[in-house]
Amino acid sequence: MTGKQRKQFWSAVHAVLIIAAMFVMLVPILWIFLAAFKSHVDVYQLKLFFTPTLENFGTVFDDPYRLGEKLFNSTVVALVTVVIAIPIATLAAYSFSRFRLVGETAMLVVILATQFLPAVVIILPFFIMFRDIGLLDTRLGLILVNLAIVMPFAIWMIKGFIDGIPLDTEEAAMVDGSSRLQVIWNIVLPMAAPGLLTSGIFCFIIAWNEFLFALILTNKDAVTLPIGLALFKGEEGDLWNLLSAAGIIIMAPMFVLALMIRKYFVQGMTMGAVR
């Protein structure tokens, strides 16, 4: 083959691979979307044309499923986790980025190492501790657990973004009389905003989708959406039409966030990679 033919061949191969990957990713989502509007009978039949119904979305919010309570718990836990984690992680990341601390490398390694601990290893200590202090089956308990999960990730991620901000701009502002806090507020935060937004989104997704800790540490009052999916069972087996409707409700915030912040998300993902 000539050089032009070879280039066209590999372009066609890339296009086929991309289409195949999109097919693998989108078909399950399409199946869930269609099943959410099917009746219990239609969901077991491979029909693209059927009479759609909204009954499933109403059923999941009624007894005994009461998905609205799970939705409220997941929203509160995820939002509060992000609101607390991002400011603290930003200050910690700024300290690691701009100051020379005693044992700095060791602290960063320890923070990173916590991400490699399997959740199943530390769930029992959390359970015993929360049982003793009365935080089992509470939203506060889940928030504390999620903070322990997302904080190391957020610190490392935000530190990468702050490292990419020129130090000269901060030094110039301090020469002009700005305090360290004013520099952080007026210079660092605006310049690192895409990175902070990206970190916040990842933290929200982690807290929103967290399953194992919520499964062990909750029972009734603080059950979240991922745990609520296990309720959709009946004498006839899994209620796939209700599961699909609940799945759409769980995925909807992720799609909305992606549409709202896609420009800042890409900017944030690339910002920390440039030095």
Structure tokens at 223: 């059950």
Single-letter amino acid, residue 12: A
Q: What span, in angstroms and rounded, lies between the C-alpha atoms of 37 and 200?
A: 32
Q: What span, in angstroms and rounded, lies between the C-alpha atoms of 32 and 244?
A: 5
Q: Tokens 């009978």 identify what position? A: 41
Give the model's pLDDT for residue 269: 53
Return the number of other C-beta atoms located less than 10 Å from residue 29's C-beta.
Answer: 13
In contact, 29 and 12? CB cutoff 8 Å:
no
* Residue stretches of the chain with pLDDT short of 70: 1-3, 234-236, 262-275
Give the model's pLDDT for residue 118: 85
In contact, 71 and 225? CB cutoff 8 Å:
yes
Give the model's pLDDT for residue 272: 47
In contact, 162 and 192? CB cutoff 8 Å:
yes
Give the model's pLDDT for residue 204: 92
What tens digit of pLDDT does each residue of 43-90 get?
Answer: 877 777 788 888 989 888 988 888 899 999 999 999 999 999 999 999
In contact, 123 and 186? CB cutoff 8 Å:
no
DSSP state of 238: E
Q: What span, in angstroms and rounded, lies between the C-alpha atoms of 104 and 154?
A: 17
Single-letter amino acid, residue 4: K
Helix (H) / strand (E) element for 270: namely helix 240-271
DSSP state of 221: T
CA atoms within 13 A on the CB side of 20: 6
Give the model's pLDDT for residue 147: 94
Q: What span, in angstroms and rounded, lies between the C-alpha atoms of 191 and 158?
A: 12
Superfamily of domain 66-271 in CATH is MetI-like (1.10.3720.10)
CA angle 218, 138, 111 (to 5 degrees): 85
If phi over 0 gives left and psi between -120 and 50 gives alpha, with beta otherwise, what is residue 117? beta
